[in-house]
Amino acid sequence: MLNQTLPQNQELTPVILVIGELNVNSAIFGWLFAVEVTSRKTNSGKLFRQVQIKLMRVQNDDSIPADRFTLGTRCSIAQLEVDFQHLIDKVGDPGLRILLNNCFVTEVMERFRRWPAAVRHHGAVVGGLLEHTVNVTTIAELTARLYPCDHDLVLAGALLHDIGKLEELEGQVGAGFTPHGRMVGHIVLGMYYVQEQAQQVAALEEGKMDDLLHIILAHHTKEYGSPVNPATIEALIVHQADLAEAHLTGFLEHCQKSCSPNGWTSFSPIYGGQLRVS
């Protein structure tokens, strides 16, 4: 049981609820906790309210969507899906277009649309992977207009760069990595998946497949876990777009989570200081 007493005009701050003696697993992702909340005033001279939260039972009910109780993207997932398909439609190369449609068939999109982009930090929300991919591809597309490069390859590489996270991460936000994901990682898993789908695409130009796989393999650079560094301008564009999107989304998420009344956040070790909220 958890008790917290505070002045009436003060809001409750988040509190960790310790499960205590209940015989349950230490982490139960996707389960719902039924709680009882009571509120009353004390008899002291000052007006106080007391909120008591008691864990009544642990309930695993598949009929209640867990998405209702987890953080989601800043944008509508339905709109993100429209934007995602619009980006695929911009790819003019017939082979790459067929490959993208093969990689993102309906059953894959059902997972892709709700998957998180990470365990924590940027995009660790329902739909985070879809939002991250749309943003990365949009940034990469705009950048590709400024430099001589294969625009279709940039688009395809950006759309596919994190496809391996469907196998690396558990679907529930915060649930962590799959055993396969821990051992292999999303970069190599993504390469394997795209290679497998490409075997069914006769229209892919010779050499184009290696260029596409290189984008997937190099998008983190060796410094952050890639087996190779970007060796083509297309791979460099996707890497920079991925880096920019992750930093910008992480910045906004930190501002949202820890903004104080004076307009500044708590200290962020990632950004090296406090951040000002616009």
Short-list 248, 239, 134, 111, CA closest to 187: 239
Tell me: do 98 and 37 sit in the same domain. Answer: no
Tell me: do 90 and 139 sit in the same domain. Answer: yes
d(CA 233, CA 67): 39
Tell me: do 79 and 6 sit in the same domain. Answer: no
Tell me: do 7 and 92 sit in the same domain. Answer: no
Short-list 140, 129, 98, 113, CA closest to 243: 140
User: Could you write out the three-class secondary structure of the chain?
Assistant: CEEEEEECCCCCCCCCCCCCCCCCCCCCCCCEEEEEEEEEECCCCCCEEEEEEEEEEEECCCCCCHHHHCCECCCCHHHHHHHHHHHHHCCCCHHHHHHHHHHCCHHHHHHHCCCCCCCCCCCCCECHHHHHHHHHHHHHHHHHCCCCCCHHHHHHHHHHCCCCHHHHECCCCCCCECHHHHHHCHHHHHHHHHHHHHCCCCCCCCCHHHHHHHHHHHCCCHHHCCCCCCCCHHHHHHHHHHHHHHHHHHHHHHHHHHECCCCEECCECCCCECCECC
d(CA 99, CA 211): 14
- Per-residue pLDDT, 131: 94
Q: Do residues 252 and 265 make contact, with C-beta atoms less than 8 angstroms apart?
A: no
- Per-residue pLDDT, 252: 87
Tell me: do 170 and 207 sit in the same domain. Answer: yes
Tell me: do 126 and 10 sit in the same domain. Answer: no
- Per-residue pLDDT, 21: 44
Q: Do residues 109 and 133 make contact, with C-beta atoms less than 8 angstroms apart?
A: no
- Per-residue pLDDT, 257: 81
| CB half-sphere exposure, 171, CA atoms < 13 A | 11
Tell me: do 50 and 76 sit in the same domain. Answer: no
- What CATH code is carried by the domain that includes residue 112? 1.10.3210
Tell me: do 124 and 214 sit in the same domain. Answer: yes
Q: Measured in Å, how far apart are the chain's first and last C-alpha atoms? A: 39
- Per-residue pLDDT, 14: 41
d(CA 140, CA 159): 10
- Per-residue pLDDT, 142: 98
pTM: 0.76
- Per-residue pLDDT, 250: 86
Locate 241 and state its tokens: 């777009």
* Domain annotation covers residue 66: no
Q: Which residues of the chain have pLDDT under 50?
A: 1-27, 47-48
Which residue range(s) make up the domain with 175? 71-257
Instruction: Please tell me the total count of domains within the chain.
Output: 2
* Domain annotation covers residue 273: no
Tell me: do 167 and 90 sit in the same domain. Answer: yes
Name the burial class of residue 156, with classes exposed (0-12), middle (13-18) and buried (19+) by CB atoms within 10 angstroms of its CB.
buried
Tell me: do 147 and 225 sit in the same domain. Answer: yes
Tell me: do 94 and 54 sit in the same domain. Answer: no
